[in-house]
Amino acid sequence: MEELFQGVRIRVNDKLFVKDPESSTLGKSIVEISIVMMGELGFEKFNFRKLGERIGSNESSIYRYFENKHKLLLYLTSWYWGWMEYQLVFATHNIAEPKEKLSKAIYMITREIKEDSNFSHINEVLLNNIVINEYSKSYLTKEVDEEDKEGFFASYKRLAKRLSDMIRVFDPKYKYPSSLASTILGGALHQHFLKNHFSSLTECNDKVTPTEYLTNLVFNVLNQNFND
Amino acid sequence: MEELFQGVRIRVNDKLFVKDPESSTLGKSIVEISIVMMGELGFEKFNFRKLGERIGSNESSIYRYFENKHKLLLYLTSWYWGWMEYQLVFATHNIAEPKEKLSKAIYMITREIKEDSNFSHINEVLLNNIVINEYSKSYLTKEVDEEDKEGFFASYKRLAKRLSDMIRVFDPKYKYPSSLASTILGGALHQHFLKNHFSSLTECNDKVTPTEYLTNLVFNVLNQNFND
DNA sequence: AATAAATGATAGTAATACTATTATATTAGC
DNA sequence: GCTAATATAATAGTATTACTATCATTTATT
């Protein structure tokens, strides 16, 4: 799988940056190190001054790439969901059987990312943790509707659409494919968070994965005779 | 129901405040108006200076009640989950039949709060919206583990426990009662948010409620013969 | 009326989230 | 190899936030 990735670039809405960070060494290191630092400090304590110090660059130079840290978070998470969509499509495209296809999709979305694919300066393992801990902060804002109109959440929505389409194919009678897709996407992040911080609120742990829990959930919900 | 509430007070972990806001008029108006303003401005733009101006009081006086706005958010959401637990217990205590009991519990947790119970200075309709939009910010922090040890999330955990217990009673063989309870709690907030801001990601709307979706989900998941 | 407690007014600090300006380094075209 | 353009760095400055400290005044208690 790795080799094919070499030639692929994840597209991100270009309104999310002032200057494309992929277009220069500094830009790439802003993205690379912001992922490391946001993971270490959390979104609130992370800022451009600290990032500048760490990469040996000037705060003002970072502002030439990203308007502010909110936009940077949107960029990072958009990249992540775009990457996830690619992973999903790649992993499922040759599966014809609807159940197996959906099952694989759920696995791709709910698994813990454990190895960096190394095809770019972006570490997906670290980025996965940022998504778990910070993603909801990117849309739980007063600006969400405007930003949605600008297409800032497009990659997430595309992914959700693909998943709900697979649900529809598997069980055309099920009435809530979009809601279920959202529950899988949101629920996976939430279960990963709970297993790390609120273990009493979940059965998930080292042995029982969010994948296992959510796979069981989805296939018990779907294809029932009493979808009423 | 209303009348009984008159004599009840929702208890909140007293480490969440410096001085009990229930103990004075100023304290109550801090809580009351912070709910209004946090709803209007969102958590990020809300601050103690603006709150002080609005209630005609001094910023420094507010700091005598709450250390900072993060603690205030924890206070408000703890109150909400404590109130929700009370509502849940009250609404289900006389139901013996496990399915009906669980069904009622799901309704209580997932419904849209539409009327203020008027038994205090706290408007539950507005507070419900704050919980939908801001709750996750209260725990998606680097301090979550310490704060959990201090018991700041106790009321949420108690509620989750009650719900998972009802799931266990209804279907003792089901392997993920805690995870499912978390999914109901988190999923309900998420579906309400989606219906307001990302309608393409959910079937929920004015006609189809999150309650309907989640009730269907839970009873399809539970009591299956193939819980494997 | 005396005392304590609560609140208000004012000022000040350190950090954040930028913006603007100018200087210097790097790169690209000729 | 020189020139011009572009990118980055350095410095300074502003408005706002998130407080803390101090002292004055109001309100409640005995």
Q: Structure tokens of A148?
A: 């949605």
Distance of C1' in C19 from CA in A28, Å: 24
Q: Does A225 touch chain B (CB under 8 A)?
A: no
**Backbone CA torsion sign across A89, A92, A97, A102:** negative
Q: Which amino acid is at B44?
A: E
pLDDT at site B4: 45
Q: Structure tokens of B101?
A: 């009991």
Q: Which amino acid is at A74?
A: L
pLDDT at site B115: 83
pLDDT at site A6: 54
Nucleotide nearest to B59 (CA to C1'): C8
- According to DSSP, residue B95 is labeled -
Q: B191–A202: do the CB atoms touch at under 8 Å?
A: no
Cβ of B84: how many Cβ atoms within 10 Å? Answer: 23
pLDDT at site A53: 95
Residue with tokens 């911080």: A197
Q: Is B142 helix (H, G, I), strand (E, B) or coil?
A: coil
**CA A220 vs CA A155, A198, A226, B225: distances in Å:** 28, 25, 11, 10
* Rounded Cα gap, residues B141 and B74, in angstroms: 12
**Average pLDDT of each block of 10 consecutive residues along chain A (228 residues)?**
61 95 95 97 97 95 97 98 96 96 98 85 96 98 97 98 98 97 98 98 97 97 63
How sure is the predictor about B6, in pLDDT bands with cuts at 50, 70 and 90?
A: low
Name the residues contacting strand C (CB < 7 Å).
A 45, 47-49, 59-60, 63, 67-70; B 19, 24-27, 56-61, 64
- Which residues neighbour B45 within 8 Å (Cβ) at sequence distance 6 or greater? A142
- According to DSSP, residue B64 is labeled T
How sure is the predictor about B228, in pLDDT bands with cuts at 50, 70 and 90?
A: very low
Alpha carbon A123 to its chain centroid, in Å, reads: 13
Is residue A104 a contact partner of residue A93, using CB atoms and an 8 Å limit?
A: no
| Torsion-angle region of A41 (φ positive above 0: left; ψ -120 to 50: alpha; else: beta) | alpha
Q: For residue A159, give the H/E element and its range.
A: helix A154-170
* Rounded Cα gap, residues B174 and B160, in angstroms: 16
Q: Does A68 touch chain B (CB under 8 A)?
A: no
Is residue B33 a contact partner of residue B79, using CB atoms and an 8 Å limit?
A: no
* Rounded Cα gap, residues A103 and A214, in angstroms: 10
Is residue A165 a contact partner of residue A225, using CB atoms and an 8 Å limit?
A: no
Locate all alpha helices (DSSP H) within chain B, ordered by sequence: 2-5, 25-45, 48-55, 59-63, 69-92, 98-110, 124-139, 144-149, 154-170, 177-197, 210-221
Distance (Å) from the alpha carbon of A2 to chain B's nearest alpha carbon: 31
Is residue B189 a contact partner of residue B132, using CB atoms and an 8 Å limit?
A: yes
pLDDT at site B3: 46
What average pLDDT does this structure show over B185-207?
Answer: 97
Of the candidates A219, A206, A209, A208, the residue with the CA atom closest to the CA atom of residue A180 = A219
What average pLDDT does this structure show over B173-180?
Answer: 97
pLDDT at site B92: 96
Nucleotide nearest to B63 (CA to C1'): D19
* Rounded Cα gap, residues B96 and B111, in angstroms: 22
* Rounded Cα gap, residues A218 and A167, in angstroms: 9
What chain A holds in terms of domains, given with CATH numbers, is: 2-221 (1.10.357.10)
Is residue B208 a contact partner of residue A228, using CB atoms and an 8 Å limit?
A: no
Look over chain B and give the mean of its residue pLDDT values, rounded to a whole number. 94
* Residue range B113-158, pLDDT digits in tens: 998 877 789 999 999 999 999 999 999 999 999 999 999 999 999 9
pLDDT at site A115: 82
* Residue range A53-99, pLDDT digits in tens: 999 999 999 999 999 999 999 999 999 999 999 999 999 999 999 99
pLDDT at site A48: 97
* Residue range B26-77, pLDDT digits in tens: 999 999 999 999 999 999 999 999 999 999 999 999 999 999 999 999 999 9
Is residue A154 a contact partner of residue A13, using CB atoms and an 8 Å limit?
A: yes
What average pLDDT does this structure show over B210-219?
Answer: 98
Alpha carbon B115 to its chain centroid, in Å, reads: 15
